[in-house]
Amino acid sequence: MKISFTTLGCKLNFAESSALGKALIERGHTRAKKDEPADICIINTCSVTDAADHKDRQMIHRIRRQNPNAILIVTGCYAQLKPDEIAHIEGVDYVLGQNEKFHLAEFVERLEASQPPKGGEGEVFTCPIRDVEDFHGAYSRDDRTRCFLKVQDGCNYFCSYCTIPLARGKSRNPSIASLVQEAQQALDGGAKEIILSGVNIGDFGRSTGERFIDLLRALDEAPQPPKGGEEGDYRIRISSCEPNLLTDEIIDFVAHSRHFAPHFHIPLQSGSNTVLKIMGRRYTRELFAERVAHIKSVMPHAFIGVDCMVGVRGETAECWAEYVDFIESLPVSQLHVFTYSERANTRMLEMDLEVVPQKERERRSKQLHEISARKTDAFYREHEGYEAVVLWEGNKKDGLMYGFTENYIKVSCPYDKSKVNTFERITVRLPYSADTPADTPNSAPAAQQ
C-alpha cells in the first residue's frame, strides 16, 4: 500500500514518524510521492498549545481533501489528549494514542486484510498514558546530514500550565549501550550530526539508573566514524535541557569534549521568580543566570537559545517588567517565544490569578521577538571574521547552499554538490539583518562564507 506521513510539532515527533515509516517500508509498503494519492494517510500531531491543536485540525481537513479515498489515521499528542474530539472530525477513520502508534505497522496490516467501510465516526484506540511503561526508540533518517536521536520520553514535572505529561506519560529512557549502538548506525548511514532529542532529556536515567552525563561521555567516546571517515568527522548537539538539570559538570564536559557542539537550548519560560513559582518551575532566575554565565565563561562563542512563554495567568505588569529586564541582561543568542493558551486539565486554571488579555499577550510576544532579533543580530556581528567549521546541507535555493557552524551560525555559499554533507573550515562574513524576527533556529538570514 502507498503510505503518506504528515508530521507536526517537535523534532521528537519527526524522529518517531521516521521510525514508523521505516517499519512500514520494511513490511513492503511504499511512501506515496508528492501529489500522488495515498492509500493510507497518517498524521502525527502536536498539542503543546491551542494554536497547535488548530493547526492539527486544519491539516486533517487538508489531507482529507487531497486524499478523499484514503484511510486517514491520526496519532500523536493531540490524539492522546483529545481522541474523541478527533474521532468526530469528518473523514477521520482511526485515532491511535501515543503507545498504540508504535504498533502502526501491525495495525496497517490488519487494515489490508479487511478494508473498513468509509463514513461514520472514527474509531479510537488509546490507553491511559499513566499505564505506558515502554520506551520506543527512534531516530530520523530523512536527512542524511542531520539525525535526531530519541534518548528520552515523557516528563514527571507537571508544570501548572503544561499538558505534556498527560500526552507523553512518565519519564523513561533506554540504556546507554543501546543509544550508542543507534548513534553508530546513524553515522554508518551517513549522518554527520546527531541531535539528542526527548521531552526532558536532562532527566535521562529514570528507567535504567544511569546518568545523562554518562550518556554524553559514552557518545563522545564510543561511536566510531564510518569506514573511511576521520576521527572528528561528526558532531553532537544537545537539544532543550532544563536549567536545573544542566549542571556545571555537563557544561564543563561539553567545553572539553571531542564531538559536542558549543550550542545550548535552555527553557526559561519566565524571567520573574513570582511567575516561575506559579508555573511550578524547579529553578529561579538567579540559577538560570548562573548557568548562562558559566557557559559563556568556558565557551565564549557558544550559541544559547532560550524558550520563553508570555501571557500566563499571574503575569502582572510588574512581573512582565521584571521579565523583560532579565531577558535584556542575559548574553543569550535567540529566544523561542510561545504565547500562553489555557489548557484543559492543568492546575493553572484552578488558581485565582490575574488573566492577561489576548491582545496584551500578543503585544508581549512581539516585544520578545524584537529583543530576540536584536540579540541574534548582536551574536552574528560578534562573529564577523570568526573561523568556524560548517556542515554543508543539500538544499539549494537561489543558487546557494546553506549550513551551520558548530555554534549554530547559519552560513551560505554558491551551491557546490561536492560539498553536500561535508565539513569545511570557513571564515564567517556578514551581512546579516535583524529586521526579520528570529523565532526559529532556521529563520535567521545567513552569514556568508
For 2-127, the fitting CATH number among 3.40.50.2300, 3.40.50.12160, 3.30.70.141, 3.20.20.140 is 3.40.50.12160
Q: Report domain extents, the chain.
A: 2-127, 134-261, 387-448
Q: Which residues contact 380 (CB under 8 A, 6 or more apart)?
A: 409, 428, 430, 432, 444, 447
pLDDT digits (tens, 9 = 90+) for 254-267: 999 999 999 999 99
pLDDT digits (tens, 9 = 90+) for 52-99: 999 999 999 999 999 999 999 999 999 999 999 999 999 999 999 999
- Contact indicator for 76, 46 with CB cutoff of 8 Å: yes
Task: Give the class (CATH, top level) of 134-261.
Answer: alpha beta
CA 231 to chain CA mean position, Å: 28
Query: With 80 as the cut, is the pLDDT of residue 114 above it?
Result: no
pLDDT digits (tens, 9 = 90+) for 282-328: 999 999 999 999 999 999 999 999 999 999 999 999 999 999 999 99
Q: Which of 285-299, 332-346, 431-445 has the lowest mean pLDDT?
A: 431-445
| Residue owning grid cell 486517514 | 72
pLDDT digits (tens, 9 = 90+) for 10-39: 989 999 999 999 999 999 999 998 888 899
Helix/strand/coil for 90: coil
Which residues face 71 on adjacent strands?
40
- What average pLDDT score do residues 321-342 get? 97
Mean pLDDT of the chain: 91
Helix/strand/coil for 332: coil
